[in-house]
Each structure stands twice: as C-alpha cells, then as structure tokens.
Amino acid sequence: MNCLRAAAVLRGLEKNELVVTAEEIEELLAIGLAVEAEPEDLQMLHWLQPVVRQFAGCDVDAPLAAQSLAVTLRGTEDELKKDWYRMKTSKEELAVREATRVVMRRAIAYLNDKPTVDAVRKLTRNARQLAPGAKYVCCEQLGAEYYAITHKGWRVRRQLKIRLDRFGETSFKTFLAAFDKNEAKMRAFSTDIAQLAQNIGYVKKNREQVVIGLAKVGVPPNQALASYQAGLRAANDAPDVAVTCARNAATFGSPLEAAARLRKAQAALRDAGFPQTPVAMGAAKSLLAFGPPEAGARRFADIFGRLAQTFGRVDAVYKYTSRLMSATGSGSEVVGRAMVAGTLLKQMPSRATPHPQDGAATAVALASMVRAEDQLPPLVRRFREVEVELVRAGVSTLASVEGDALECVGCPGTPAEVVDTVAALAGQLAAGRQSERGDVAVAVAFAKRFAF
C-alpha cells in the first residue's frame, strides 16, 4: 500500500466512508492505526456500560464491577422485600425499582460470563485508543465487522495529508517508519524539556525562554542545569545571564569562565562609548562569538551607529544590533539588508494580523537569516505564508504570530508542514493536557529538529 492509498483508507475510517480490502485493513490493525469490533459486542457494550456506571459506580472493565453491582442489587432487593417500603412507595416508583432489579440481574449474568467480559474489556481498551469523535464504521465488502480509527491513526492521517505531495507514491511503511521515529524523538525531547522546566527554580518572567536557552546548550538536562546554577552564582541570580553562561560554557571552559568573558565584553562596550545600562550591557553577549571582545565592540558600534541614523539611539536599537552581529557581511551590508527587508515587509503586508508588533525587529531578524539581499524576497514571502498558517491552524494568536513565524520560518517543508510540525511538537510537550503558550514557544524554537 502506498501513501496515497493509505491516506484514502484513513480518510474513509475517519469520515465513515470506508472502502478497503482485507489486506489493507489487516495492515492498519497490525500497526495500531485502527481497531475492529463485532457488531454484537458493540451492542452489548452500549447496553452494559451505562448500567454498570449507574448502579456500580465504575466502568464495565473494572475488576470489581460485578461485585459492586451485586451489592447494589442486594440493597434494592432488601428494600423491595420490606412491607413498610412498599406501603409508602408509589406504584410507579415500585415498577421502576422492579425493572431496575431485572436490569441489574441481567448485567451481573453478563459480567459473570467470561467470553462476554473478555469482549467488552477489549472494546473498552480499544475505546481509550480511539481518535476524538471517532465512530465505528462497517465495510460491506469485508462482512459484518466494524472498524474505527485510533488516535495514532488520526495523527498519521493528519501528517500524511499535509505531506502527500511528497510521499504520495512512497510505500506507506516507509512513511510510517519516519513518522514513528519522529514521534519518538519528540517524546524524548519533551521529557528533557519537562526536566528542565521542573528544575530551573523561580524565574520572574519569560520562564520558557530560560528553558529554551538551556535546551539549546546541547548537553543532557542534568548537565545543562548544573551549568545554569553555576551561571546564576556568577551572574548574581540573573536568569538571562546565567543562560548565556551555560550556553557558552563549552566554548570558554566553564560557566565561570564564560561569565568572565561576558564581563570583558561589557567592558569593551563601555570603552567604545556605550552607557552602562541594563539594555546596553545585556547586548554584550552578542560579542562572545568574536575573538577579542574589542573586535566585537567595533562591529557592534558600526552596526549600532548605522541603525541609529534611522531609529535613533533608543533601547530597541541595542536589540536590533545584537541580532545582526552574527549576520554575514560588513556593517553596511547587514544594515542595508535590514532596510530592504523592512521595505519588502511593507510591500507584502501581513494577512494574519492587522497590527504588526514591531516591523523593524522583524526586518532585522529576517535580514540576519540570509547571506545576500536577493534571498530576502522569497524569505519574506515565506514568512508571511507561515504567519497565515500559524493563525489558521490555531497554533498562534494575533499577538504572538510574528515572533512565532520568525522562529520557525527556517524549518524545512511547506508552510503547512512547518505549522503541522509545530502543532505536533506542542502536543507532545503538553503531554495530554491542552497546549499552552509556553508549549508553542518551545515548539517554534525547535521545530526544525523534527521536520521530515
């Protein structure tokens, strides 16, 4: 079965329009993308489950379901045997209690029948695997059995549908192998993120940015956390500085040596005439990639001066400059690209949000991603397309879409594939709960690791 056919079969399962061969459905059952049921077993479950829940207070597959139901039955029978109860109770209510007794007796008989219990328990186990809203559907060519799509089947269908242009004629087993490998990577990554988030301690704001920074250190969580704690001690408990020290520990030898190098970078900026303000000194981390800090300070001053001619010597220019420090080219070239990116953004206005957050910051970020000016038009178009997809898919809000699109615009694949990767990763990070803003922030930052 190729991917094109698999997509059609999975769609039929989800839309209750199943047309499939025996070999195809057996393949889906074997790999957990679908489950099957006999019609009489489904009918039994639909009758028995509400009875057990109402009178035994548990699910039909609970180990003590029959015993709990028997206790309730004994209580009902005891009351019905009492004359005073029958005297004070209306005929209508007595009729209801008598009918209830019959129902419970019948249910207990089924619960004491091993074949019935085994079939019902299998169905309840399968029910926990079903995709949200999934229903059993019959394929007349295969007989009376019913089939339903599992949650994994739903995830595979969603990701396959978006990538069908690339995988259409590919073997479905090949796609599924890539899917399984990617999900396993996401689960492992989510475990690491959870460990980081649970152990960084108190962070007043932008907590997810600390987690993202530590995840980018590229070492196991325990090691990243140890570097972060050392960085906190060296940076007077400033989380952002501690993350910088942790990320540069391998380059300079340790978090303490990274902190010392950062102090030299700050001194180089002061010597270059920049004020000792939190914003200016925070920009010093952009000098760490340069040999002597003085060389980085000269490049910083060059880029800052060119940007200030347009925007003035405001705090935002420090952030713009930091973003362009690692970009390819001279100061005049990288600032020129930023100006071109700003013009292109105006020529291609956002269709996702009517009120862009900071056009200059977006232009600078996009300019830092390319090596030449002619690469900007397609990048800006792609950025706008990713914005639209993020909002359409409900992954990003209007307030967050610009930043999210910037983070994941470099992820391989079509815009729809990129956003699907982000959504899938955010879902893994949420680990069964509803995805939150922090999950999306992490997902857009690391989506490119999980593109396939």
pLDDT at 356 (0 to 100): 66
pLDDT at res. 201: 92
Give the dihedral of Cα atoms 60, 66, 69, 74; nearest 10 deg.
170
Please give the average per-residue pLDDT across 335-364, as a whole number: 90
Q: Could you read off the pLDDT of 85-113 as tens digits, one per residue?
A: 888 889 899 899 999 999 999 999 999 99
The pLDDT of 148-173, averaged and rounded, is 95
Residue range 159-174: average pLDDT? 95
Q: Are 6 and 149 in contact (CB under 8 A)?
A: no
Strands 137-138, 146-149: parallel, antiparallel or unpaired by DSSP?
Answer: antiparallel
Checking if the pLDDT of 15 tops 90, the result is no
pLDDT score of 132 more than 80? yes
Average pLDDT over residues 325-329: 96
Alpha-carbon distances, residue 82 vs 57, 60, 89, 90 (angstroms): 25, 30, 11, 14
171 has which bridge partners?
2
Instruction: Specify which residues 149 forms β-bridges with.
Output: 34
Q: State yes or no: pLDDT of 140 exceeds 70.
A: yes
Give the three-class secondary structure for 33: coil
Contact indicator for 10, 162 with CB cutoff of 8 Å: no
Average pLDDT over residues 179-195: 97
Q: What pTM did the predictor assign? A: 0.84
171-176 — which CB contacts under 8 Å span 24+ positions? 171/1, 171/2, 171/3, 172/1, 172/2, 172/3, 172/5, 172/6, 172/27, 175/3, 175/6, 176/31
Written as six digits, the tokens of 242 are: 């501690």
The tokens for 401 are 């879409």
Q: pLDDT (tens digit, 9 = 90+) per residue, 272-284?
A: 999 999 999 999 9
Percent of the chain exceeding pLDDT 70 equals 100
Q: What is the pLDDT of residues 18-43, one digit of tens each?
A: 888 999 999 999 999 999 999 999 99
* CA distances to 190, 234, 294 from 289, in Å: 29, 20, 12
Query: For 194-248, how does the pLDDT look when each residue is reduced to its tens digit (9 = 90+)?
Result: 999 999 999 988 899 999 999 999 999 999 999 999 999 988 889 999 999 999 9
